[in-house]
Amino acid sequence: MIIAPPSSVTAARSSLSLLSSLIHRSVALGCFPAAQAVHASLIKTAFHRHTVLGNRLLDLYSGLGASQSAVAVFHDIPYKNIFTWNILLKAFLRDGQVRSAHRLFDEMPERDVEVGVKPSSFTLSIAASCATSALQAKLVHSLVVRFGLGSSNVVLGNSLIDMYGRLDLVGYASHVFHAMDEVDLISWNSIISAYSKSDCSTEALESFHEMWISGFSADEFTASCVLNVCANLMDLAKGEQLLAHCFKAGFLSNSIVSSAVIDMYSMCGRLDKAVQVFQEMTRWDSPLCNSMLASYFYSGCEDEALTFFVAALRNDVKPTEFTFATVLNSRLCCSSIELGTQLHCWVCKTGFESDMITANALLDMYAKLGLVEDALNIFYAMASKDLVAWNTVIMGLGKNGQGLQALRIFGEMQKSGMEPDKITLIGILLACSYTGMVHEGRRIFSSMEKKYGVTRDLEHYACVVEMMGHAGRLKEAMDIIETSPHNLSLSLWSLLLEACWIHNDLAFSEIIAEKLLQLKACSSLPYLVLIQIYTISGKWESMARVQKIMRERGLKKVKGHSWICIRNYIHVFEPNQIFHCKGEAIYSILGLLDWVMEVEEHVHEKFILLEHYDYCF
């Protein structure tokens, strides 16, 4: 046996300590590029085969949702212990890969709990934290009930409440909470958080009141959660009462609590108070700056928001994925290619291009700018795609008239095992509407509940009515509205009225507009349409009647505007406007674009049937 010199042993220990510290810092950063950098260092020093360091790297990838990278690390570890297997098993379950987790479990040479042995509360608590669907959650809960651990074990009960709250099953979370023999502060925080995430704001405040009466004092988590509830309710009075308690308890030194206060003030329309709270903070950090940035955007102060963004960078506040998502989703980025591309460069410079939240924000921005190819490049470069990414690309393609491409990606989504939700189907129906694929849209709409398990709601009916209206099938659109559960919806009848007006069907327009008058529409559109129709047909008494109703209901004509951004300058056009600054050049370009659209429309009509045939087969 060869014994390494003391210096070599010391160097090896030093390297192990350094690499362990790097992994710890990567966990704190919580971003994929940092994990990749540490992984590269481990491979370079051949420590990627070290069991302990490999397990820590495996756990890092698991926490980031990068299951493919976690599998690669797993296979590089020659001497796997029980922790190695458990970490990858947890990664698969967290990522929703139940079949892979089952196969891995069967391959495990050693298990913490063997077959036929009763699982412990710790085992079931971990299983609850890994549940990714309602079915998995109910299976875990049934095991808890079967082994009689639910009502007597506070930690396990809290895990179940958190599990159901995370999956938006607040009714089950409430049932677990009220069935517990004993609760602690974490129990109260978990049920309040579950109500808050499910938009049950009233129930959240009632639970907070009950907690207070029961003798439990709020901590920083409770305060931040209830402040968010007050923000959602726009209840400034209750929010300021809690703020007084936070001030007395010294919670405002916690940046999460202070961020919640800033959010509350901005959502209640008090940006001045939000700015005051921020200015009183002695130290800037990412959560505080993110809240202040979002407050400026929420209040419509976009120039101030960008100025603040630059100021935060100059104060060495590192941007996070939420920082980039907030700025990229703003109206400024969605109307200025130059600003959007500059921010994209900054994202790449800071290593956030692989972060899922940032990538989704970039994807959405490019789609809104009409840069479909750039959006698709980002989409296909994503290492893993969540439901938001699929929905964003489908919606973006649909709104940009790329209906066939949206349908193809919808097919890819289903092949990948990702189940569509209501937003996915709204995107597909919009794609069919904008591309004129009425038959395909009707087929998807009729099979929503049976094939995809998604209930049709108002948004889906709106997409179909708009699709039928664009195609000029006005009577069919009216039949859909009248037989729907939303037959009194002003928005559906207004969509049909716009379609009638576009197709110059005055007789049908009159019927729909009168229907909207009976429903007491708050928009001036049906009144103005009727006035114009009665003016054209010389029905002066009917015209006077509509004008009188419009005056009595306090409605005024609202002018619409169109705009176009050229080299960071936004040109605004009003209806029937003849003169405009640089108008001759602008109208010449618009005329050219109109001619190009006419040519492309003829080509589109010629080939769409062939392309649709190719898609179907």
Q: Assess if residue 75 is contained within a domain.
A: yes
pLDDT at 560: 61
What number of H helices and E strands is found in the chain?
33, 2
Q: Assess if residue 63 is contained within a domain.
A: yes
Q: Assess if residue 591 is contained within a domain.
A: yes
- Of the chain, the end-to-end C-alpha distance in Å amounts to 68
Whether the CB-CB separation of 494 and 526 falls below 8 Å is answered with yes
Could you give the C-alpha distances from 580 to 17, 180, 558, 577, 587, in angstroms and in order?
68, 70, 21, 7, 10
What are the two backbone dihedrals, phi and then psi, of residue 575, each rounded to the nearest 5 degrees? -60, 140
Determine the Cα–Cα distance for residues 466 and 474; give it in Å rounded to an integer: 10
Average of pLDDT values for 13-34?
59
User: Which of 61, 89, 112 lies at the terminal end of a domain, its last residue?
Assistant: 112
Q: Assess if residue 66 is contained within a domain.
A: yes
Q: Which long-range contacts (CB under 8 A, 24 or more apart) does 368-377 make?
A: 368/334, 368/396, 369/334, 369/335, 369/337, 369/340, 370/400, 371/337, 372/396, 372/397, 372/400, 372/402, 372/405
Percent of the chain at pLDDT exceeding 90: 5
Largest CA distance in the chain: 110
Q: Assess if residue 609 is contained within a domain.
A: yes
Average of pLDDT values for 264-290?
87
SS3 assignment, position 566: strand
393 pLDDT tier (thresholds 50, 70, 90): very high
What are the two backbone dihedrals, phi and then psi, of residue 107, each rounded to the nearest 5 degrees? -85, -15
Least confident of 71-80, 333-342, 384-393, 452-461: 333-342
SS3 assignment, position 546: helix
> In total, how many domains does the chain have?
2
Average of pLDDT values for 442-461?
87
510-520 exposure pattern, b = at least 16 Cβ within 10 A, e = fewer: bebbebbbeee
Average of pLDDT values for 433-451?
87
Q: Assess if residue 364 is contained within a domain.
A: no
Least confident of 26-35, 62-71, 394-403, 548-557: 26-35
SS3 assignment, position 563: strand
pLDDT at 579 > cutoff 60:
no
Q: Assess if residue 594 is contained within a domain.
A: yes
Q: Which residue has better confidence, 186 or 597?
A: 186
Strands (DSSP E) found in 248-403: none
Average of pLDDT values for 116-129?
73
Whether the CB-CB separation of 407 and 615 falls below 8 Å is answered with yes
User: Which of 82, 112, 142 lies at the terminal end of a domain, its last residue?
Assistant: 112
Highest mean predicted confidence (pLDDT) among 12-21, 51-60, 200-209, 577-586: 200-209
Average of pLDDT values for 79-103?
76
pLDDT at 220: 87
User: Which of 82, 97, 112 lies at the terminal end of a domain, its last residue?
Assistant: 112
Q: Assess if residue 586 is contained within a domain.
A: yes
Q: Find residue 36's DSSP bridge partners.
A: none
- How many CB atoms are closer than 10 A to CB 493? 23
Angle, CA of 104, 141 and 85, to the nearest 5° = 20
Least confident of 357-361, 401-405, 610-614: 610-614
Range of 94's domain?
11-112
